[in-house]
Amino acid sequence: MKYTKLPSTDIKISEICLGTMTWGNQNTEGEGHQQMDFALDRGVNFIDTAELYPVPATAETQGLTSKYIGSWLKKNKTRDQVIIASKIAGPGDYTAHIRTTGFSPHSIKEALDLELKRLQTDYIDLYQLHWPERQTNTFGVRDFKPNPNDRWVDNFNEVLHTLHTFVEAGKIRAVGISNEKAWGTMRFAEEVRNHNFTPISTTQNAYSMLNRVFEGDMAEVSMRENIGLLAYSPLAFGVLTGKYIEGTAADNARLNLFPRFARYSSEQSSEATKQYLLLAKDLGMSLTTLALAFVNQRPFVTSNIIGATNLEQLKENIDSINIQLSKETLDRINAIHASIPNPAP
């Protein structure tokens, strides 16, 4: 395994992060525990969850993922061996079953305390805002369109002050954002500089060979402001395994179970995937390995969040950290990207 540190901290993390959002829906508690055992045995020490999980989110399953991690921690008594990241859910109809008060000081306190209880721990290593409160283009929305009904009032200072108090109290070690845009990220950085708050360490955004939108503005912000990318959906909901193109996806594969998750299923995405699949075959490796190795090598990526529903998938995903793509291979990837740029937003 390869390791780095969360930016602006001394927290050592693996460059592969174990994603958990299927636990409690597609995976049982026992399977989640098996994945944690397997990942830690192979050097992964970084685990990402959220109060929202599992996904799809429902009132009945909300919080199960973190409870599974908590029961594993209690059983194994290895809290000091793992770095745990979690997230407070953003506002909206999708999360109305959790709360409707956004990132108010009370909401952050409530969310944090409930998550600590689910995880059966006294602290969370990286605590993130799952998505912005303001209305902006997130989760597959390509372009920003001003909304005259957006009643959000700038509260970056208040949110950072609240999070800073929990860092000082020892309940959080580092602070992160997620699904954020360049403007929001710079506003956070501005408030940190002006008020000496806990720095923003990371942003957790979608990034893959089908979605390189991060490179437009956010990559520069990331590298100049020392805010690392935690790349999620590096396999684009499994599309970049090639299994949907080749018709080998199992009945319980994510897009077979939940076809409404069509973010990476456009005609252009399918065509790009076919070209990446041909490239992978020409290189003698799986498309999964090619796609993950590409993300692993990006200079702005702090850790690559991989997810799996079985141990075979998990092994292949973790092993991608050992693959170094040549300049020639990267050039061929970029040529496909240039012909079909960002088919999935």
- In the numeric block, the tokens 């409530």 are attached to 110
- The Cα–Cα gap between 18 and 39 comes to 7
- Judge contact between 87 and 132, C-beta under 8 A: no
Question: What distance, in Å, lies between the first and last C-alpha atoms of the chain?
Answer: 30
Structure tokens at 51: 């109060």
DSSP string, 100-142: SSTT-HHHHHHHHHHHHHHHT-S-EEEEEESS-SS----TT--
The pairing of strands 172-178 and 124-129 is: parallel
- In the numeric block, the tokens 């909901």 are attached to 237
Total residues belonging to the chain: 345
Cα–Cα nearest to 205, from 176, 183, 226? 176
CA distances from 276 to 212, 235, 236, 247 (A): 14, 12, 13, 16
Q: Cis (ω within 30 of 0) for the bond into 56? A: yes
CA distances from 205 to 27, 160, 196, 290 (A): 23, 19, 25, 20
- In the numeric block, the tokens 């399977």 are attached to 31
The distance between the two most distant Cα atoms of the chain, rounded to a whole number of Å, is 55
- The Cα–Cα gap between 185 and 93 comes to 24
SS3 307: coil
- Judge contact between 295 and 208, C-beta under 8 A: yes
- Interhelix angle 327-339/287-296, nearest 10 degrees: 100
- The Cα–Cα gap between 285 and 310 comes to 20
Active site residue 53: yes
Exactly one of 53, 68, 232, 264 is catalytic; which is it? Answer: 53
Catalytically active residues are: 53
